[in-house]
Amino acid sequence: MSNMHLTLAILGIGIIAAVFLYNTWSIRRHLSRLAADEADGDASGAAPTAPAAEAAEGDGSASHPGDAAMPHEAVLDALIFSLGSIQLDAPVSGKAALAAHPRTQRVGSKYFRIEGLNTQTRVWEIPQPQAQYGEFQAGIQLADRQGALHEIEFSRYVILTQGFADAIGGAAYFPDMVHEVARARELDQFAAQHDATLSFMVLARHATWTPGYIRQTAARYGFDNTTTPGRMEIQPSTAGSPPVLVLEYDPNAALADELDQVPIRNFILTLDVNSVSREENPFGRLRAAIDGMTRDMEGILTDPDGRAVPPMALEQMEADITRIQDALDARGLSAGSMSARVLFR
């Protein structure tokens, strides 16, 4: 038992409840990764089925590399990608590179990407038709929230990259697969230990609410409406970044003809810790929204299963989030950075 738990245990029954809720939150952080690890373990000893292979190809149905789900402005980061190099005897045009680029931009759930070194700017970038490139690099994501890169995915990455290299007259060089898979597992373990998405439910204590009342109250705490029915967000200070906080309520109620007549008994507040820069003060803003909205709306704060959340649980979560953010900073994967957003997706 940690010193934190020993300290809390002697403070009484109320604190024990807080520890229970905290532990529940901690366990839930890892469920998706544990399930993914089991799936990877089953897959590592057998060849992929035809549907799985089709899915890997189908993930990249977009015709151009820049259309992939991976953000266009992202670059291949050796911290979270396994990188292979493609050497050339002479520069290759971006048009030729795009024509040779594999259709798929994912291998399994992992991003697959090819970048070229622009001969004029000396910057790595997604190939552009009018540019010339002196060399290329291909990367496969080492880990994501679905689990670590495994041998089958790495082999598929090598095949795709080799095909591209052959098409443009280049020579491909790859790191050792055993070493890269070990890196992937270590990164996945680190990520699993530092992955946190918080979701809280606010329940109506007495009278139910209407969509208009929820929107009006949420707006006072920085939430904006979105095009998705029943979803509001606190926008980040940097354009293109994920929302700081998300508020969700019944989408059917949001689409009702008479919004003032639709009763709503709860809504959900969510913070994806790893996707939001600590400079946005995400947990502080979450606490402000929780405290203010539960007070203004006479609501009760619970976990997603309806169990009441005492203040001590929030205080412990805040301390744990700070530790997570510190660890991510030390690893070079600061919360909210492009690399963190790619890793924790």
DSSP string, 82-96: EEEEEEEEEEEEHHH
Q: What is the average per-residue pLDDT within 25-43?
A: 47
Classify each residue of 13-52 as buried b or exposed e, where b means 16 or more C-beta atoms within 10 Å of its C-beta: eebebbbebbebbeeebeeebeebbeebeebeeeeeeeee
Amino acid 15: pLDDT: 44
Closest by Cα among 304, 8, 328, 28 to 190? 328
Task: Tell which phi-psi region holds residue 232, choosing left (phi > 0), alpha (psi between -120 and 50) or beta.
Answer: beta
Closest by Cα among 62, 153, 68 to 115? 68
* C-alpha to C-alpha distances, 204 to 223, 237, 268, 291, nearest whole angstrom: 19, 31, 12, 14
pLDDT tens-digit map of 183-235: 999 999 999 999 999 999 999 999 999 999 999 999 999 999 999 999 999 99
Q: Structure tokens of 87?
A: 């050497």
Amino acid 154: pLDDT: 98
Q: What is the average per-residue pLDDT within 173-182?
A: 98
Closest by Cα among 84, 100, 179 to 139? 84
User: Is residue 72 very low, low, confident or very high in pLDDT (cuts 50, 70, 90)?
Assistant: low
CB 234 within 8 A of CB 223: yes
Mean pLDDT of the chain: 84
In the predicted structure, residue 27 carries a pLDDT above the cut 50: no
In the predicted structure, residue 5 carries a pLDDT above the cut 50: no
- What's the fold here for domain 194-343? Cell Division Protein Zipa; Chain: A, (3.30.1400)
CA distance 278 to 323: 12
CB 344 within 8 A of CB 145: yes
Q: Are the folds of 50-191 and 194-343 the same? A: yes
**Claim: this prediction has a pTM higher than 0.85:** no
Closest by Cα among 113, 103, 104, 50 to 80? 113
CA distance 141 to 180: 10
In the predicted structure, residue 3 carries a pLDDT above the cut 80: no
User: Is residue 73 very low, low, confident or very high in pLDDT (cuts 50, 70, 90)?
Assistant: low
Q: Where are the domains of the chain?
A: 50-191, 194-343
Task: Tell which phi-psi region holds residue 72, choosing left (phi > 0), alpha (psi between -120 and 50) or beta.
Answer: alpha
Amino acid 240: pLDDT: 87
CB 300 within 8 A of CB 294: yes
Q: Which residues contact residue 92 at a Cβ distance below 8 angstroms, ignoring those fewer than 6 apart?
A: 116, 132, 133, 136, 168, 169, 170
Amino acid 102: pLDDT: 95
Q: What is the average per-residue pLDDT within 33-43?
A: 48
Amino acid 312: pLDDT: 87
CA distance 19 to 5: 7
Q: What is the DSSP letter of 72?
A: T
Q: What is the average per-residue pLDDT within 134-154?
A: 97
Amino acid 69: pLDDT: 52
pLDDT tens-digit map of 296-343: 999 999 999 999 999 889 999 999 999 999 999 999 999 999 999 999
pLDDT tens-digit map of 249-258: 999 999 988 8
pLDDT tens-digit map of 113-130: 999 999 999 999 999 999
Question: So what's the architecture of 50-191 in CATH?
Answer: 2-Layer Sandwich (3.30)
User: Is residue 9 very low, low, confident or very high in pLDDT (cuts 50, 70, 90)?
Assistant: very low
**3-state class of 241 per DSSP?**
coil
User: Is residue 74 very low, low, confident or very high in pLDDT (cuts 50, 70, 90)?
Assistant: low
Q: What is the average per-residue pLDDT within 85-108?
A: 96
Amino acid 259: pLDDT: 73
